[in-house]
Structures are given as C-alpha cells and as structure tokens.
C-alpha cells in the first residue's frame, strides 16, 4: 500500500509540475493548497501524519499513510480531467530524476532506526522531491533550450521585421490581436499564437511562423519573475514596447506590485518607442521616467485626457484622438476594451503608420475569443464568455457588460474566482462577488479555491449562491435553469490541478 501511495502521489505532483511550467516551489505550494482545501483532505492529511508517527512503534501502521496518499488529497486526480499528463521529453526527465530521488531516499530510509516510518515520510514528501528535481533540472533545461533560441535569433535577423513587444498584467493578448488587425490591411504581420509568451513559446513562434517578407512581428511577453522579459528582449529586441496595465495578477509569485512593475518595465530597456497605458497610475509614473533622446514615449488610454492616443467614450460613441487630432468617431465595438484598443493604435503610430490609415481599420477590430465575447445559445440565453480573463479590472468590465445586455430575465455569474493574487486574493474575490450580486440574481461558484470569499461576497450582496464541483456541472445547471430572456457570464476558468 505504501508503494501505491508513493506512485499515486508522485504522478499527481508530476502533473501539477507540468501545469505550473516546472517552476521551483510551485508543486509544494499546490500541495499545501490541496491538502487544506476541504475538511476531508485535512482529515486524510492528518491520517497520513498519524501513520508516519505510528509506524515508529508499529511498522505495519505505515500502511495508513500509503492508503491516505492513494486517496488524497481529494479531487486531485492522477490522470486529470482537463489537464492530463503529457509525456514530453521534459516531463520524462523530471519523472526519471524525481523517481530516482524517491527511490534513493527510500533505500536510505531502510537504514534508519525506524525504516517504515522514514519510508512513509519520504512518500508523504513526494511533492518536495518533485520540486527539488525540477530545481536541479532547471539550468539544464535552460541550456537545452539555447539552440532553439539561437535559431530564433538568426531567423529574426534574416527576416528583419520590426518587432513590437507587449507585456502587462492583463490586456496583452487583446492588444496584440487588435494591433495585428489594425496593421493587416497594409502590412505583412505575424503575431505570436495564443499565449506563447515565455521564452520557449516565443522561440517556437519565431521558428515556426515567421515567414519571409514579414514586416512586423508582434511578441506577447509574460513573466513569473524578474529577468525573464529582459532575457527575451536580449534576442527578440523590440522596436516598440507596449505596457498595457499593472495589477495584482501573479502577486502570489512576485510579492509586491512594485516588483511586478519592475519586471514588466524590462521590456522598455531596449525599445526606441514605448507605449504606456496612462489610465494606470503606476504606468503613468513609469512613463514620466522613460523618455530620453534614445526613447520616445507614447501615452495611451481612454480616461486620461492628456494621453497622446485616446479612445474616449463620449455618450454612445468612441472618439479616437491621436496627438490632439480626432481621426475617427465610431460606435463602440462590443467586447473590445477602449484602453486596449488605444494601446494598439499607439503601437501602430510608434511603427510609423499613418493615424488616419489606422483609423480606417478600426471597424475590423473584434473581441478576442473567450474574452468578453457575447453569443446567443440555442436556448435563447445570452452568454458572455470571459473565461480567459482573471484579473479584478477585467472582471469588473465583464460585470458591466453583463449589466448592459438587453435581457428582461435573470442574470447569473459563473466563476471559480481569481487566483495568484497573493494576500489580496480573498478580498478581491469577495469584492468581485459583492459587485456581481448587484448585477446578477445568482453566483455559481466552481470548485473550492475561492468558495468562502465568493460565497461571503455574494450573500452579503443579496445574491443566491450555487456551488458546483466542476465547470461541466455549472454548464449543466445553466442549461437546466436558464432560458430565453436570461443571461450568464462565465468569468475565468481553472484547470483541474486547482482545487
């Protein structure tokens, strides 16, 4: 039974390691999250600890630890429902090293005064072993990735496109897509696909998609720690850098908003033009410090009247202003955030494209899939799909869209809440659920990660709360409960390696 517990636990944490990009410490962090996610999992964890302690006196008691680790933590499957293990070369390497480490520790345990207790302890700490193996392999993986990065560097040099690099806590992907749409009428443009925004994804995008004749390459750049964006810009040097917004996304990893600003600002170090969303106070301050003879700063936004490029909301129209000149007045585009559009327009201007030419392309801009898109289900229910957004500002915008929909029935919000917000996670989710209660009659809470905060906020706001285990169950509830004249917002989605 102890061997079964070891195998089950090891496979679970390998899956988490893969989903968390093999980042050191992530597996142990998720282990704590899972083992404390429900009373049943806490009880199983205590049972595993009791088995270790009991095995000191009675070796056979170690079987209790094995049994607890086969079953728990509850809800974290070995195979995975939405994110199964993919046996890539990197995962195989991690499995081989962590497996060898577990086996070695198991052998060492046999030479201790309490071999069964020590062996049970090794099994219970398999998450720590997987984390340690990932840390050992990290510099090796970096070295193995260098040929692909060098190939991408050469490819960029050969094709010679102008490079626009985009980062921010949120708004990156939408701004990237909007810029590609604005340039498409007159320019050969290649944006990075989906969310290929780390070093490996960026190298793949260049190597596989950068065709001869490409004039503009748009690189979305994300980061989990300082230095990552600087390293990407070393070989994918931006002509234009765009900073879309700063928020508590990944605050759990960075610790402070100031560190997030510093990590994102690395994108501006080599650019000749930097676009800053000055609706964001932190980026407004940063913009003031970036201008130099070697770097032009273009400010953008929808609320700041001093911005160089603005998409102003004036009544039921958008007014597009570039350097003081109104270049277009148009109806709003549903699902498109005016600030993101302003950043995209400013990036185009930074590339030297005529503002009036850009304005003619604005009607071709569309919302990005799973980001504030609205569709009518066969049942007649209006569905707002915002499942790829997970930040407080975006969630607020989604609620406003839900409020504005022309429905005379019920409005419902379906969500697992927001994650990686550090010390602000509980308060942000509670505030979001409270705001949702002012718009929606019910809040459907998925999973256990944020259930207490969402439940408190929704109930305090007067909304009903429905709890479901998975998104599939939430969809079933919506289909069986709502009908023509109703509307539902799906806000964020979490893979099943989250509780």
**Tens digits of residue pLDDT in 253-272:** 777 889 999 999 999 999 99
Structure tokens of 261?
């600003």
Positive or negative, the CA dihedral 485, 486, 492, 498 is negative
Which strands make up the sheet holding 442-446, listed edge to edge? 373-376, 382-386, 487-491, 411-415, 442-446, 464-468
87 C-beta neighbours (distance < 10 Å), count = 11
What pLDDT does 357 receive? Answer: 95
Which strands make up the sheet holding 216-220, listed edge to edge? 189-191, 216-220, 162-167, 240-243, 273-277, 296-301, 309-314, 317-322, 325-330
What pLDDT does 293 receive? Answer: 80
CA 1 from chain center: how many Å?
A: 37
What pLDDT does 104 receive? Answer: 95
What pLDDT does 163 receive? Answer: 98
- 469's CB contacts (< 8 A; 6+ apart) are 75, 446, 447
Structure tokens of 6?
């070891």
pLDDT below 70 — which residues of the chain? none
Strand spans (E) along 363-410: 373-376, 382-386
What pLDDT does 253 receive? Answer: 77
What pLDDT does 23 receive? Answer: 86
Instruction: Identify the burial level of 477 via C-beta atoms within 10 angstroms of its C-beta, where 0-12 means exposed, 13-18 middle and 19 or more buried.
Output: middle
DSSP 256: S
- 329's CB contacts (< 8 A; 6+ apart) are 314, 317, 318, 319, 320
268 C-beta neighbours (distance < 10 Å), count = 25
d(CA 34, CA 350): 47
Domain spans in the chain, listed from the N-terminal domain onward: 2-140, 160-364, 373-491
Provide the 3-class DSSP secondary structure of residue 193: coil
Give the CB-side neighbour count of residue 68, counting CA atoms within 13 A.
Answer: 23
Place of tokens 């600030």: 339
Q: How many angstroms separate the first and last alpha carbons of the chain?
A: 25
CA of 210: how far to CAs of 154, 158, 201, 276, 479, in Å?
11, 10, 13, 27, 43
Q: 201-229 b/e with 16+ CB inside 10 Å = b?
A: bbbbbbeeebeeebebbbbbbbbeeeebb
What pLDDT does 389 receive? Answer: 82
What pLDDT does 422 receive? Answer: 85
What pLDDT does 102 receive? Answer: 95
d(CA 425, CA 499): 15
What topology is assigned to 160-364 in CATH? 3.40.1190
What pLDDT does 81 receive? Answer: 83
392 prior amide bond cis, ω within 30? no
d(CA 7, CA 99): 9
The domain at 373-491 falls in which architecture? Answer: Alpha-Beta Complex (3.90)
Q: What is the pTM of this model?
A: 0.88
What pLDDT does 159 receive? Answer: 97
What pLDDT does 391 receive? Answer: 87
Contact present, 288 and 312 (Cβ < 8 Å): no
Contact present, 52 and 107 (Cβ < 8 Å): no
Contact present, 236 and 202 (Cβ < 8 Å): yes
Contact present, 266 and 230 (Cβ < 8 Å): yes
d(CA 326, CA 424): 40
């Amino acid at each position: 039974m102890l061997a079964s517990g070891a195998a089950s636990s090891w496979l679970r944490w390998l899956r988490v390691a893969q989903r968390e990009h093999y980042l050191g410490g992530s597996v142990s962090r998720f282990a704590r999250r899972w083992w404390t996610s429900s009373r049943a999992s806490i009880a199983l964890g205590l049972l595993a600890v009791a088995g270790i302690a009991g095995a000191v006196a009675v070796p056979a008691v170690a079987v209790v630890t094995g049994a607890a680790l086969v079953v728990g933590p509850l809800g974290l499957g070995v195979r995975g429902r939405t994110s199964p293990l993919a046996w890539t070369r990197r995962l195989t390497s991690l499995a081989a090293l962590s497996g060898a480490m577990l086996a070695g520790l198991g052998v060492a345990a046999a030479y201790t005064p309490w071999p069964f207790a020590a062996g049970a302890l090794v099994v219970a700490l398999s998450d720590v072993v997987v984390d340690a193996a990932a840390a050992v392999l990290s510099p090796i993986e970096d070295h193995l990735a260098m040929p692909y990065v060098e190939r991408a560097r050469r490819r960029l040099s050969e094709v010679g496109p102008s490079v626009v690099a985009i980062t921010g806590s949120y708004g990156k992907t939408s701004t990237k897509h909007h810029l590609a749409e604005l340039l498409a009428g007159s320019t050969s443009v290649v944006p990075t696909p989906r969310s290929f925004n780390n070093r490996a994804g960026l190298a793949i995008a260049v190597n596989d998609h950068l065709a001869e004749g490409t004039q503009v390459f748009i690189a979305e750049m994300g980061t989990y720690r300082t230095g990552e964006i600087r390293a990407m810009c070393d070989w994918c040097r931006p002509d234009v850098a765009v900073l879309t917004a700063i928020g508590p996304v990944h605050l759990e990893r960075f610790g402070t908003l100031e560190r997030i600003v510093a990590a994102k600002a690395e994108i501006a170090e080599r650019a000749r033009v930097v676009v800053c969303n000055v609706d964001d106070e932190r980026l407004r301050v940063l913009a003031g410090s970036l201008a130099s003879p070697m770097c032009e700063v273009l400010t953008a936004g929808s609320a700041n009247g001093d911005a160089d490029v603005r998409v102003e909301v004036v009544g039921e129209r958008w007014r597009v202003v570039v350097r003081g000149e109104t270049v277009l007045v148009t109806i709003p585009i549903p699902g498109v955030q005016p600030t993101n559009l302003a950043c995209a327009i400013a990036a185009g201007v930074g590339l030297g494209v005529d503002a009036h030419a850009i304005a003619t392309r604005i009607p071709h801009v569309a919302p990005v899939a799973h980001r504030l898109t609205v569709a009518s289900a066969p049942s007649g229910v209006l569905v707002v799909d915002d499942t790829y957004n997970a930040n407080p500002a975006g969630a607020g915008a989604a609620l406003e869209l839900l409020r504005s929909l022309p429905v005379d029935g019920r409005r419902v919000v379906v969500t697992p809440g927001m994650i990686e917000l550090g010390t602000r996670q509980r308060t942000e989710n509670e505030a979001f659920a409270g705001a949702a209660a002012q718009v929606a009659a019910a809040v459907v809470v998925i999973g256990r990660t944020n259930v207490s905060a969402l439940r408190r906020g929704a109930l305090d706001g007067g909304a009903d709360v429905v709890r479901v285990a998975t998104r599939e169950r939430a969809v079933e509830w919506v289909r069986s409960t709502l009908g023509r004249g109703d509307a539902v917002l799906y806000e964020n989605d979490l893979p099943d390696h989250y509780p």
